[in-house]
């Protein structure tokens, strides 16, 4: 076994031990296919008010400009599919936001993985990323053979669907590289047909400025009144395109206790959400990604859903 094969085997075994769903590796370099796509998407203002998407264009497409001397992108998936979901009569939260903010959970696992790499292999320079920097997570995961990018623009795998987080370690280490897998969306248009705001404007293209997740999380101003009655009771994020995807019937519940929801969250009704106080918000979402929208943001979303 060559040195790069041995290193890759070690990294993948360690990723599994840390609870990652899967691990794939690709050669760090310029993402040729993604460049024109990203440029076109930005030029058509499909990022709405997400101005940060325009920043660091070159770094977004080439990790060697982001991490000096980098040779490999290690992509990792972490399952967040919950055992139980919210009750029917409730305003809805995206499943990824049920438990502890994934940034913290995954960052700790990535730090440990990098620590083991350094202990076993030696002086390795690298950086961990959890959608916290200009890295095209889905493109790298697809390049690393972890799945294909579906018509809803999320990464999909035949074995476990799409309810998982994507993260990377970018390192200056030569490794064995994986190959991309084929697209298995076929003629299915379930996600396109089901999107409440018709944000999937064509297969594989999402207009971010029409997406419910954008309205309820990213948008700082008022939600446009033309979308009144179309948000399908989503108050933070949206899972519709994933919920209807046939591949997600293979989703299995995660085994990460930190992703378990606060006990009260699953039993709350619409009335409970409408009457939520800042104190209850702070208790339920103490370490949650929902804190991103703040109490005022969640209230704004609920008022909009109520039609007030």
Distance of CA 272 to the CA centre of its chain: 28
Question: Is 266 part of any domain?
Answer: no
Please indicate, yes or no, if residue 156 is contained in any of the structural domains.
yes
> Active site includes 131?
yes
Residue 242 falls inside a structural domain: no
Cα distances from 197 to residues 112, 227, 249, in angstroms, run: 40, 7, 24
- The catalytic residue among 131, 183, 232, 260 is 131
Give dist(CA 97, CA 25) in Å, integer: 27
What pLDDT, on the 0 to 100 scale, is given for residue 32? Answer: 73
Tally of domains within the chain: 1
In a domain, 157, yes or no: yes
Contact 181, 149 (CB under 8 A): no
Which residues touch 206 (CB under 8 Å, ≥6 apart)?
Answer: 46, 152, 153, 199, 200
Residue 62: its pLDDT value, please?
Answer: 84
For residue 51, is it within any domain?
yes
* Residue 215, H or E segment: none
Question: Beta strands 92-93 and 234-236: pairing type?
Answer: parallel
**C-alpha Rg value of the chain to the nearest Å:** 20
Q: What is the CATH number of the domain that holds 132?
A: 3.40.109
Cα of first residue to Cα of last residue in the chain, in angstroms, is 65
Residue 87 lies in a domain: yes
DSSP three-state, residue 182:
coil
SS3 (DSSP) at 76: strand
What is the full per-residue pLDDT of the chain (308 aa) written as tens digits? 899 999 999 999 999 999 999 999 999 988 777 766 766 655 666 555 555 555 556 667 788 888 889 999 999 999 999 999 999 999 999 999 999 999 999 999 999 999 999 999 999 999 998 876 667 889 999 999 999 999 999 999 999 999 999 999 999 999 999 999 999 999 999 999 999 999 999 999 899 889 999 999 989 889 999 999 999 999 999 999 999 999 999 999 999 999 999 989 999 999 999 999 999 999 999 999 999 899 999 999 999 999 86
Q: Which residues span the domain enclosing 93?
A: 3-171
Angle at 157 between CA 154 and CA 162, to 5 degrees: 45
Task: Give the pLDDT of residue 38.
Answer: 62
* pTM value > 0.85: yes
238 Cβ neighbours under 8 A, 6+ residues apart:
92, 94, 196, 211, 212, 213, 216, 231, 232
In a domain, 107, yes or no: yes
Q: What is the pLDDT of residue 63?
A: 85
* 89 lies in some domain: yes
């Amino acid at each position: 076994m060559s040195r790069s094969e041995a290193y890759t085997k070690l990294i993948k075994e360690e990723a599994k031990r840390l609870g990652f769903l899967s691990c794939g590796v690709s050669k760090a370099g310029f993402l040729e296919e993604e460049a024109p796509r990203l440029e076109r998407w930005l030029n058509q203002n499909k990022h709405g008010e997400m101005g940060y998407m325009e920043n660091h264009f070159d770094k977004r497409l080439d990790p060697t400009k982001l991490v000096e001397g980098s040779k490999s992108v290690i992509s990792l998936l972490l399952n967040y599919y919950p055992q139980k979901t919210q009750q029917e009569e409730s305003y809805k939260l995206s499943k990824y936001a049920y438990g502890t903010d994934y940034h913290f959970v995954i960052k700790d696992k990535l730090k440990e993985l990098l620590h083991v790499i350094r202990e076993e292999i030696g002086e390795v320079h690298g950086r961990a990323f959890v959608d916290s920097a200009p890295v095209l997570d889905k493109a790298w995961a697809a390049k690393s053979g972890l799945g294909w990018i579906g018509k809803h623009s999320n990464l999909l795998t035949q074995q476990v669907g799409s309810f998982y987080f994507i993260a990377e370690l970018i390192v200056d280490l030569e490794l064995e590289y994986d190959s991309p897998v084929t697209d298995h969306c076929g003629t299915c248009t379930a996600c396109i047909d089901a999107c409440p705001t018709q944000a999937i404007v064509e297969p594989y293209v999402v207009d971010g400025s029409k997406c419910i997740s954008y309205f309820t999380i990213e948008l700082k101003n008022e939600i446009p009144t033309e979308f009144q009655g179309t948000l399908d009771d989503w108050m933070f994020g949206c899972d519709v395109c994933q919920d209807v995807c046939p591949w997600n019937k293979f989703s299995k519940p995660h085994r990460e206790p930190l992703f378990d929801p606060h006990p009260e969250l699953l039993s709350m009704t619409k009335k409970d959400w409408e009457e939520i106080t800042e104190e209850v918000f702070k208790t339920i979402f103490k370490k949650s990604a929902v804190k991103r929208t703040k109490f005022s943001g969640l209230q704004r979303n609920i008022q909009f859903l109520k039609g007030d």
